[in-house]
Every structure is written in C-alpha cells, then in structure tokens.
Amino acid sequence: MNPNIRSASLKTLRSITQCLASMGIESSAVSRILNMYPQLLTSDPYVDIYPIFDFLLNVVEIPFPEVRKSIIRCPRLLVSSPETQLKPTFEFLTELGFAGSNKFTSQTTLLLVSSVELTLRPKIEYLMGLGLEYSDVRNMVLRSPGLLTFSIENNYRPKVEYFLEDMNGDLEELKRFPQYFSFSLERKIKPRHQLLVEYGLSTSLSDMLKVSDGEFNIRLIEGRLRMVDEREGISIL
C-alpha cells in the first residue's frame, strides 16, 4: 500500500477527491491521477490545488470546461507550483506567441510544466542553429506546438540528419511543414521516402506524410503510370 494513503486521513482523502470533482473530473480519472501522483493524497486542496485551478482560469484564461481536459491530459499540472513553475513558463511562451488567436487551449497547457531553461529554450536554440531565424522557429512552433515536447537527441537530430543528408531537403520545406517532426522516422518517413526514390518520384513533405498508407500507395501507382505515359509520348514523337 502506498505510504501516502496510510498517512492520509479520511477527511483529507474526501477533500482531495471533492476538489478534483469540482472541476468535473470523473472518479475514474481521479483514481488514475492519484495513482500517478500519490503525494496529492496528503496535500491541502486550498493551499496546493485550488491555486493551480485559479492560475489556469484567471491567468492562462482557460475556459472552465477546458480545465478538466487540461488536467486529464496533463495531471502533472496538479503538482506544479504556479509561482515557480507555471508562471515563468507561461510568460516565456506568451512572449513566444501563445496569445491572441494562438492562446493556450486544453491541448497546449501541458507545455506549462516544461522548464524554460532545460527544455524549451534549448529546443528553440537547436532549431535556430540549423539556420532558421527566430521568427521562422516561432511560426513553426505556433503551427505545431508539439515541437516543444520532442527530444532533441531522439527526435530532432536524427530526423534533421535524414532530411538534409538522405532526402537532400531544404529548410524552407521544414518551415512550411513543421509537422514533419511528429511522424515516426523508422515507421513512416524512411519507408515512404525510400519508396519514392525506388519509383523515381518526388513530392512535398506534406504530400508524402499526411495521407494514409492506402492513399500513398495509390499516389505511387498513379505517379508511376504518368511517368510511363510521358516516356511513351516522347518515344512516339
């Protein structure tokens, strides 16, 4: 049994579950969250949890119904200090452009638990180190916020190397399609690129990756047929 449960009074347990339920979080989700972060079992809702809800509602300005989604998507928010963790990251990301039409949603609040110095800034600097301008990186991140959740060593670096060296890619295309980094290198990027090379075809990153496997195969066949028709047309002339 978790030692936190042993030390928690029945009153405390009820207050925690009632606190989370007050934001519309279902009992099944509450159980999962408490299992992930058992330290919540001995926390004071009014000192430790309600200030986080207040921050999300009144500073980040997440609509009330969306707070529940934010917490379920990223329970770590509940163990993050508004002052030392959430606020500095919120200010950094707001300056980056997460405001106005790009303001935070329940899908992007998970970025708030990231360290500015250890996680966010290094990723921005890595992308700029490729030769991209700050404004380019900013636009890429706003179009594809998931970029800020990817590992430099496990995601960025191998995908950039493959794109530049094996695909002879142009950084302009990465700027147009930053979602490239969200696709699996081994399961999708490499196999599809290698098929295009085998068939003697070329296409944009977007057209290569966004379609289903079935649609991609259809496009390969159509592209190959067009090439045959063009060759036959040339030979007839």
Is it the case that residue 233 has pLDDT exceeding 70? no
Give mean pLDDT, residues 31-52.
Answer: 91
Provide the pLDDT for residue 95: 96
**What's the whole-model pTM score?**
0.86
Is residue 91 domain-shared with residue 126, that is, in the same domain?
Answer: no
> Are 84 and 48 part of one and the same domain?
yes
Report yes or no: 191 and 208 within 8 Å, Cβ to Cβ.
Answer: no
Distance of CA 237 to the CA centre of its chain: 53
Instruction: Taking residues 89-113, report their average pLDDT.
Output: 96
pLDDT > 70: percent of the chain: 92
Q: How many structural domains are present in the chain?
A: 3
d(CA 99, CA 85): 19
End residue of a domain, out of 113, 147, 162:
113
**CB neighbour class for 167 (10 Å; exposed up to 12, middle 13-18, buried from 19):** middle
Same domain, yes or no: 193 and 94: no
Nearest alpha-carbon partner for 89 in 66, 122, 58, 117 = 117
Contact 144, 179 (CB under 8 A): yes
Q: How far apart are CA 44 and CA 166, in angstroms?
A: 55
What's residue 229's pLDDT? 66
**2 and 107 part of one domain:** yes
Q: What percent of the chain has pLDDT over 90?
A: 78
Among candidates 65, 122, 49, which has minimal Cα distance to 92?
122
Residue 7 and residue 108 in one domain: yes
The CA distance from 52 to 45, in Å, is: 10
Question: In this predicted model, what pLDDT tens digit does every residue of 118-148 receive, in sequence order?
Answer: 999 999 999 999 999 999 999 999 999 999 9
For 189-231, how does the pLDDT look when each residue is reduced to its tens digit (9 = 90+)?
999 999 999 989 989 999 999 999 999 999 999 888 888 766 6
Binning pLDDT at 50, 70 and 90, where does residue 180 land? Answer: very high
Residues 6+ apart with CB under 8 A from 219: 203, 207, 211
Query: What is the pLDDT, as a whole number, of residue 183?
Result: 97
Q: What's the average model confidence in pLDDT over 37-49? A: 90
More confident: 234 or 210: 210
Range of the domain at 229: 183-237
Distance of CA 94 to the CA centre of its chain: 17
DSSP 106: T
Could you tell me the pLDDT band of residue 237, with boundaries at 50, 70 and 90? very low
* The pLDDT of residue 14: 84
DSSP 100-142: GGG---TTTGGGGGS-IIIIIHHHHHHHHHTT--HHHHHHHHH
Q: Are residues 166 and 131 in the same domain?
A: yes
- Considering the domain architecture, whether residues 103 and 3 belong to the same structural domain is answered as yes
- The average pLDDT across 23-47 equals 90
**Over the chain, what is the mean pLDDT?**
91
